[in-house]
Structure 1
Amino acid sequence: MPYWPSYSEISPVCRATYLDWLADGRRDASYNPGYMFLYFYGLERRFFMDQAPEEEKREILEEVRRLASVYAHNGSAQRYLGEFIQIAQIAVRDPAASEPVFDFHGWELPFGVKAAIGTKIAQGVPLGWDWTLSWLICHPEHPMRTASKRCAEEFRALFRLRFEERFPEGLKVTKPRKTLDARYQAASQEFHADLSPRFDGKPLPDISGVRKPVEIAQEIADEVTEALERFSRYLGRNPEGRGSLEAHALLPPELRELFPSKQLEELRAWASERVAAGGIVPAVEMIARLEDKRPDKLTKAQLTGAADTLARIGFGLAPDPRFALRAPKIDEPLVIFALEAPVENLEDLSAAYRLALLELALGAVVVLADGVVSEPERQALLARIARADQISEPERLQLKANMEWHLAVPPDIALLRRKLKEAGPDMQSALRAALVAAAHADGLIQPEEVVQIEKLYRALGLDPGLVYSDIHAGDDVPVRVRPASAGAPGEPISDQASAPRRALDPALIAAIRSDTARVSSVLGEIFGAPGEEQEEASQPEPAASGGKEPVIKGLDPAASELVLEIINCTHLTEEAFDAACKRHGLMPAGALEAINEWAFETHDEALLDAYDGYDVSPQIAAAVRGQFAKEEENVDA
């Protein structure tokens, strides 16, 4: 079969094949397309040259449309049949001629698009979003990007929203001087037909050389493409993923109501129920809800994705791993809370919020020091949140949720210290105030709370002795813990506001502290330090390595042995760390705190960083190995 076949010139075998194709209903696309073109040559001649009746022309148009669908994957067929359809439907005034074209693969602006837009311009009617987009899609000099094709429905919907926002009354196009006329060149190359469509007896304007409306459409299309880029890439990786939670989260906000997700509606209902029940949710349940399977471990990406997904439907998640002092573990809870409105970008949080979050964590450490959270202490933390300056109401809601999480999952002191190292003088002052306020919250300062505050002062690089003066600073008046009520007659307590201000005596404070230190020393000698006989009896047997017990200064022997074991690792799972502690007769929580306390005192950072297990500081590990290597050299010498 030649490129332009002629029935009179093809071989007898080809003629027989052509007749078989015709007799079989002209629907088998596996035949050489040349047979379809032989058939089409007769249809186009009948339509344009033989002056067929109007009804027959409509039948021919439908037949050519059918052929176009049969040979949908043949570029040559789509080009020639498409050109015929564009012109034929105008000639017979087919309703399709008034519909915009959103799927086009040709090389020239279709005649039908020119005629339809030219008619609107002749009528003085502004172009709507649909014909403006059709003009752009069909324009040969403006190829469309992947997102417009991969997610065509979403692309058109967002283009419409952006266009109507910019041109609420439509896009007015100045009438061009050039008029529209066309010459239909037959696919058989045997004839051509001249066409000049008219409106009210006048030729239609020709939009072929008009550029400004197409440039405007291109600007909007570029904005829409950029907004859909992440969604498009997701569909590229997951062709069946449309409507999933992840896909819906990647849609631009304007489209989420237009393209609802059943999974997202189920998540919203579940989140509402959990918030009504108090908001505490196991972390593993939260991730399983989003991923349809229970995770083996938690990652920052999972938690960040969960926070973003919830925020887009009006719920917050605490802690957010982007700002939390540490991420939750898989066996720990999360806190879900209702936001005032959906939030698109959770990263837009103020510096004041970050400081308030750190203050809150420190306050929780102090409040939890005695193992009991009293209602006055909880109210004091809430009051601190209420007084925080320069934070928005959504940030205040997040602080309240983080407070609940910190009270349910106490902050890690070692991690807090690392954060505190970065605190400047102004921040230190605010943090000191927050710590003291938390201690005073219930009107009774427990010894455990003082110890915790002293540890935190050391982390801030402050003299722990300042704790006493900070705690006792202010008015020396009774703390009002409940409203006054009538009781038995007795000596009245002076009103808080009218109580005289009494200055603290620094000399007295120093004396008290000195006495306290002296008493502690005496008690230590009595109860803590063994006598010479006890010390000799308690000495362990000499080690096989030369009789030297490997004790690290500042740690007891068991903790020293544990450190010497773990410094040869870069990362430990929780199970591995627990097993190591068990081998040395230590409790994991106590060992972790003791080791990191020692590390902060000697190396100014934690040895073990808790995140999905424990990361071992390479700097400290190298320093300890070097220290013991030198000691071994000295022993050998």
Structure 2
Amino acid sequence: MARRRKKSSGSNKFLGGLILLVLIVSAVPKEGWITIGVLAGIALVIYFGLLFSSSKTIPSVSERTNPPPSNTANSSTRRAASSRVNVEVRYGTGSDPVPITKPAPSRATSGFGIPKAPKGFGAAKWIPAGESIAVAGTAVPGGMLYVGTSLTTPSGETDPCLIDPSRSVSAHGDYTEREMGYWPNYSEISSRARRAYLSWLEGGRRDPEADLGYIFLFFYGLERRVLVDAQSDPAAKSDLPLIATELRRLLGIYSERSGSLRHYAGELLNWIELIDHGNDLYEKPIPELPNTSELSIYLRLALGQAAIAGIPIPPELALTWVKHDPAISLRTPAARCAEQFDILFHQRYIDVFGAGLKLPRNRTKLKFVYRPASAGFFSREIKRTFGEVPDVTAVTGPTKKLQKIVDEATETLASYSRLVGKTPEAADTLEGCLLLPMILWPEAVRAPIETLKTRMGGGMLLFTYETLLTELCAQSTLTRAKTQELARILASINIGFEPDVLSGARTPKPESKIVLFDLPPEETQSQVTTEYQAALLTLQLASAVAAADGEFSAKEINHLRTQVESWSHLTHSHHRRLIAHLRLLIAEPMAIGALKKKLDPLRQSEKESIASFMAVVAQSDGVVSPEEVKLLEKLYKALGIQSKKVFSDLHAVSAGETPATDESEQNGFTLDPTRIAALQQDTQKVSALLSSIFTETDDTSPVEDGEEESGSTENMESVAEGILGLDEAHSAFARLLISRPQWSREDLEDAAADLELMLDGALEQLNEVAYDTHDIPFTEGDDPIEVGAEIVEMIAA
């Protein structure tokens, strides 16, 4: 009971206390609870702080390993001992230590160190040409890259070219799309752009459709290697030839798409080529150079050194000059037929200048200012001077002389260029080569003609025109124009062609006979004179008359041959051609009807004039034999003139007017040379009449490809024009200006004087044109004078 009452009393007390607690809690205001909460929080912090500090001081631990086991212990005991560590834990400062045994640390943990960084992380490394490296799961071949996480520019920024493996790379990226700004930086472009760049590198840096920003991003690395590393690092300097090769390869793929790339890559190539230049570049092999908006600094230095030394410019250097100087206009044939143009220019250059063109020493001094493309070198310029070497682009006299030679060579190629442009497969055919001088013919086309010359051996060859074309490997029957070109080519190697198509004879048909004969070296072109035409008509009439009456015998042929050789007023070449024509007449006699058809349109007085002149020709050797008189009578009859007039015409040039005696009729006339000379001088009228007879036209003469008029549109195309529409002098001045970003006034005054310009007036005109064209200035400032970077970009584009 007592226990039961006690228990009931305790319950009542607990219940009463709980009720009292509820009443107290309900009586506390809201603000009080906030205060209580804050105090409770502080108390908890203090409590746990004390708890933590006491836990640190209570266990005092000292660790020691067991001593080495004795030699008498068995191996299992040694292994067990070696795997344990005895630890003494002391609780409090005054308590005795309590021994605890724990396993010894393993040997693997005893050598623990910080892991090495993944490959590519850390200071940047140049990847040599030909080596590969993996970046973001992509195998990048070819090298020539900087890879790492740290590479600073001269200004202290991260170099734009650095491929940083720590940067994120997207799973997809298209390098044909524009993903970057004007000055890309690998560390700042998007992850998609990084993937695209790595994909372009993975493909060998050769896809022509790639966005140009990726080409420049790669170019920045080459630029740094040349301008920074190669200045002090022998290994980097040894890379320069490989970098130059890579630059040329990139230009071969992308230069047509970007004038800016042409400019920067070309300038970097120039810088490489001039690192170890000597004083005689004009004597060294010329490296491959790109075409840019100004003449290459390498060529300017070579030409300037030649000017200093007083050495004539060699033909090879002159040819490179005209091909790379924007001030010299190259029309389409020079580009389309480059090999033929080179040969013609070389030949003509030597003909005009002999050992070579000598350049004056003008006052403008040569300087090279390299403006890097990379933003890592932003606003920095690298300059190089060359002492007293002049800048030859500051004068226009030499380029005018070279332009004349260029124009002559180009005009020679104009027809061939048009033919090749329309029918490329005709380039190495006889038909195509007939439009070129024989010096330009390929061996396969030239060889058959050389064989014919050997067969001819100084004599004559008679065959059909078709046979000739077959032996020369012609692919078609030649038009009149091409036949004339063939005759002209043959004449250039001392082979004559009859009929004389160059003097107006009708083009032979394929089945017609032609004669090739040896042409004297002193006369490789047909030189038609009135005397020759009269002799030719005499020969044709005589052969026609002989063939008509059946008397064209061997005796008559020999007589005509003797007559031809006796005409001393004719040249040796004329004699050779008339004999060849006689050979042609023997094979194919001229019908008297065909001759009369030519002569019928003439008036009787005109026929008599021709007949009288034939009489003069017959007397040119000073004696007229009875045989010649008989021949003249036949010719007069063929012309419709009474034969008795032969004697009156012969007597008109004789010593007197007395009738011929028997002796004179038997032995011939004795002539007055003075009278003959007087009659021969009055030949203008007869010449016109004979020309009308011997100039024949074909019924049809189709125009072939390449035979258009020389003033065609293509023939007028130029590779280079004046800058911004300026004249020659101001264009040359503008090109000189853009070669440097800044000029002293003194240097520009010398340059303007070399071009015979007033400096202030020239600058004003350039600025006016630049504002009108692009709404930007060409130059700014008075001294120094700065060239606007924007206008340089515009001109280079």
TM-score when scaled to structure 1? 0.64
Give SS of 1:410's match: coil
Mapped pair 1:87 → 2:271: yes
**1:586 alignment counterpart:** none
**Aligned in 2, Cα 1:26/1:289: closer, same or farther, shift over 3 Å?**
same
Post-superposition Cα deviations, 1:418-473, rounded to whole Å, max 9, x if no partner, equal: 43326454421244688999996599x8xxx9997575142xxx2367689999x9
Asked if structure 1 preserves the Cα contact closer than 8 Å seen for 2:456 and 2:518, the reply is no
Larger Rg: 2
- 1:489 matched residue in structure 2: none
Structure 1's 470 and 366: CA in aligned 2 closer, same or farther, altered over 3 A?
A: farther
CA-CA distance at 1:361 after TM superposition:
0.5
Residue 346 of structure 2 aligns to which amino acid in structure 1?
Answer: R
1:65 to 248, 259, 277: 248
Secondary structure, counterpart of 1:91 in structure 2:
coil
Alpha-carbon distance between aligned partners in 1 of 2:362 and 2:598, rounded to the nearest angstrom: 67
Question: 2-side partners of 1:326 and 1:166: how far apart?
Answer: 38
Sort the Cα spacing of 1:65 and 1:394 in 2 relative to 1 into closer, same or farther, 3 A. Answer: same
The yes-or-no answer on 1:168 pairing with 2:350 is no
CA–CA distance in 1 between the matches of 2:586 and 2:558? 13
Distance 2:495 2:195 in 1: 71
Paired with 2:322 and 2:304, the residues of 1 have a C-alpha distance of 15
Match for residue 225 of structure 1? Answer: 410
> Residues 272-313 of structure 1: CA distance to partner in whole angstroms, max 9, x if unpaired?
436789522023222344463575xx8644643443343233
Deviations 1:384-412 (A, max 9, x none): 21232532211211111111212221213
Match of 1:193 among 381, 388, 406: 381
Give 1:357-396 correspondences, 5 Å limit.
357-396=536-575
Distance 1:60 1:424, change over 3 A: same
Q: Which moved more, 1:268-277 or 1:387-396?
A: 268-277
Query: Residue in 2 aligned with 1:266?
Result: 448
Q: 1:258 to 1:612 in 2, by over 3 A?
A: closer
Matches of 1:327 and 1:208, distance apart in 2: 52
Match of 1:311 in 2: 491
Structure 1 residues 115, 44: closer, same or farther in 2, change over 3 A? same
Distance of 2:649 and 2:397 partners within structure 1? 71
1:266–1:343 CA distance, 2 compared to 1 (3 A): farther
1:451–1:175 Cα change, 3 Å:
closer
For the Cα contact (< 8 Å) 1:101–1:113, is it kept in 2?
Answer: no
The answer on 1:7 being equivalent to 2:193 is: no
Partners of 2:236 and 2:201 in 1: CA distance = 19
User: In 1, are the aligned partners of 2:633 and 2:646 still within 8 Å (CA)?
Assistant: no
Are the counterparts in 1 of residues 495 and 518 from structure 2 also a CA contact under 8 Å? yes
| Residue aligning to 1:403 | 582
* Structure 2 Cα separation of the partners of residues 259 and 328 of structure 1: 24
CA change 1:190–1:155 in 2 (3 A) is same
The structure 1 residue matched to 2:593, chosen from 394, 414, 424, is 414
The residue aligned with 1:156 is 342
Map of 1:120 onto structure 2:
306
Higher relative contact order (CA 8 A, sep 6+): 2
Partners of 2:470 and 2:236 in 1: CA distance: 62
Structure 1 pair 137–442 and aligned structure 2 pair: CA distance change class (3 A): closer
Residues 12 and 82 (structure 1), Cα distance of their counterparts in 2 relative to 1, 3 Å cut: same
SS of the equivalent of 1:65 reads helix
Aligned equivalent of 1:24, options 203, 219, 228: 203
| In structure 2, distance between residues paired with 1:14 and 1:186 | 23
Relative distance call for 1:285 and 1:371 in structure 2 (3 A) is: same
Q: Which amino acid aligns with 2:394?
A: G
Q: What is the root-mean-square deviation of aligned Cα atoms in Å?
A: 4.3
- Tell me the SS of whatever aligns to 2:370: strand
CA distance in 2, matches of 1:222, 1:610: 32
CA 1:216–1:375 in 2, change beyond 3 Å: closer, same or farther? Answer: same
Partner of 1:280: 462
TM-score relative to the length of structure 2 = 0.52
> Which range moved further: 175-184 or 302-311?
302-311
Alignment partner, residue 562 of structure 1: none
Deviations 1:209-235 (A, max 9, x none): 122222222232233333333443343
Listed one character per residue, the Cα deviations across residues 33-67 of structure 1 (whole Å, up to 9, x for unaligned) are 22121111122123213445244241433332333
Q: In the aligned structure 1, how far is the partner of 2:369 from the partner of 2:479?
A: 64
CA apart distance, 1:89: 1.9
Which residue type is aligned with residue 461 of structure 2?
A: G
In structure 2, C-alpha distance between the alignment counterparts of 1:214 and 1:313, rounded to whole Å: 34
Alignment of 1:354 onto 2:533: yes
Partner of 1:488: none
Gap change, CA 1:53 and 1:46, over 3 Å in 2: same
Equivalent residue in structure 2 for 1:42, among 221, 229, 243: 221
Deviations 1:352-408 (A, max 9, x none): 111111110011122223324333311221122123253221121111111121222
Residue identity (%): 29
Unaligned stretches of 5+ in structure 2?
A: 1-178, 651-658, 671-692, 701-797
Q: Aligned runs of 1:484-503 on 2, under 5 Å? A: none
Cα distance per residue 1:481-504 (max 9 Å; x no partner): xxxxxxxxxxxxxxx76x9x9xxx
Give the match for residue 212 of structure 1.
397
Q: Kindly tell me: are residues 433 and 64 of structure 1, through their superposed partners in 2, closer, same or farther at Cα, counting changes over 3 Å?
A: closer
Q: Measured at CA, do residues 470 and 184 of structure 1 come closer, stay the same or move farther in structure 2, by a change above 3 Å? A: closer
* 1:81 to partner: Cα distance: 1.3
Moved more, 349-358 or 205-214: 205-214
In structure 2, do the counterparts of structure 1 residues 276 and 387 end up closer, same or farther at CA, with 3 Å as the change threshold? closer
Distance 1:439 1:102, change over 3 A: farther
Cα pair 1:127 1:170 within 8 Å, conserved: yes
Unaligned runs of 5+ in 1: 480-495, 502-605, 614-637
Distance 1:165 1:476 in 2: 63
Kept after mapping to 1: 8 A contact 2:289/2:296: no
Deviation at 1:26, TM superposition (A): 2.6
| SS across alignment from 1:26 | coil
- Are the aligned partners of 2:534 and 2:617 in contact in 1 as well (CA < 8 Å)? no
In structure 2, relative to structure 1, the CA distance for the partners of 1:240 and 1:349 (3 Å cut) is same
- 2:424 partner SS: coil
Structure-2 change in CA distance of 1:13 and 1:273 (3 Å):
same
The answer to whether the 8 Å contact 1:21/1:28 transfers is yes
